[in-house]
Amino acid sequence: MVRSHKKIILGSNSPRRRELLGGLDVEFTVDTLTSFEEFFPEGTEAHEVPVLMAMGKSDGFHRKLEDDEILITADTVVICGEGLVLGKPHSREQAVEMLGKLSGCTHEVVTAVVVRSNERKCYFTDSTLVTFEKLEDSEIDYYLDNYRPFDKAGSYGVQEWIGYVSISSLKGSFYNVMGFPVHKVYKALKEFGALD
Amino acid sequence: MVRSHKKIILGSNSPRRRELLGGLDVEFTVDTLTSFEEFFPEGTEAHEVPVLMAMGKSDGFHRKLEDDEILITADTVVICGEGLVLGKPHSREQAVEMLGKLSGCTHEVVTAVVVRSNERKCYFTDSTLVTFEKLEDSEIDYYLDNYRPFDKAGSYGVQEWIGYVSISSLKGSFYNVMGFPVHKVYKALKEFGALD
């Protein structure tokens, strides 16, 4: 375990982000209480959406930070076609539709991360291009029935069956697609004085 | 679990390859008994090395296959600089040296996979470019002391701490770097009639 000089708080319920932050061998707690309600004005440019969301989650954190605390929040969107933003699906039908759009195409996954303490605040984004092979309807059905990816932007988890069978290529960070760009989080924690 | 029409045998001791094949939701057994001794003639072109190795493991399998069996073997090499092939390190010193070569550079990971039954045999390769951030000596020491990656080509595991903190970008398949190009293995299993 790497010694941390600060108390790190992860403001995210995503088990993947928890796994990635844990993989840095640092201790942290999870606290997702925020007054922020996910919303962005119509017409917001696609790449700006995750920044607004991650900022909102950070700014809406339910209490003032202590001086030795660092809060990390994040948001991921899938952008396909002409700036079409795919978030989490609201139904099975919507998930089928999303995976149909991704099938046989290359899409972009953008994650924004906000790191803040009482002294400073910064955000960064990371973008990865993901190419899916053509998915058969039976494969989409199998995946939705067995993995139920309804908590995931774009209706898929890169680290699950569908990522194994159908992602032929990535350009960028794999972990950005899985949860957040953990190499940039590591760097930010060093800049914030949390790690040597 | 996906129903398989054949008995799939994985001829590899790698826990990562086991995890990837398992992630396809198929049943398989592991059997690595082979008479092949890992060796390639000096002057072999770098990209040919994993093909020779994976072929050798397959051809040297310790018994004749049954008609309903499919054998999968694989080999991975890391190619950096001018065709320099990095396999598994033989000592801590060699691991330090390898990670020093990879630090701050882009290298190529090539995996060859051989799939065969009594009726057919095929091989395929996959190549991924991996970009490492500059590693500090203390980071190399931390990684080697805590993760002991001595069973891994190039002395690193993309799915471990070092992959989290220092890989800024990939071009190609992530799973190819982790163990083998599982999307191509899935396709081959379909072509061999093992999966619908």
| Residue B59 CB-density burial (10 A; 0-12 exposed, 13-18 middle, 19+ buried) | middle
Predicted TM-score (pTM) of the model is 0.91
Chain A residues touching B146 at Cβ < 8 A: 25
Kindly report the CA angle at B18 between B15 and B22, in degrees rounded to 5?
140
Half-sphere exposure of B125 (CA within 13 A, CB side): 20
Question: Over the stretch A167-190, which tens digit does the pLDDT of each residue have?
Answer: 999 999 999 999 999 999 999 999
Asked if A129 reaches chain B (Cβ–Cβ under 8 Å), the answer is no
Contact B20 A164 (CB under 8 A): yes
Residues contacting B147, CB < 8 A, separation 6+: B157, B160, B161, B162
Q: Is the pLDDT of residue B83 over 90?
A: no
**Inter-chain touch A183–B166, beta carbons under 8 Å:** yes
pLDDT of A1 higher than 80 = no
Mutate which of B180, B183, B185 to test chain A, going by most A C-beta atoms within 10 A? B183
Residues on chain A touching B142 (C-beta within 8 angstroms):
2
pLDDT in tens, A121-135: 999 999 999 999 999
Q: Which chain B residues are Cβ-neighbours of A158 within 8 angstroms?
A: 174
Q: Are B73 and B21 in contact (CB under 8 A)?
A: no
Residue A172: both structure tokens together = 């960028």
Confidence of residue B73 (pLDDT cuts 50, 70, 90): very high
CB pairs under 8 A between A and B: 71
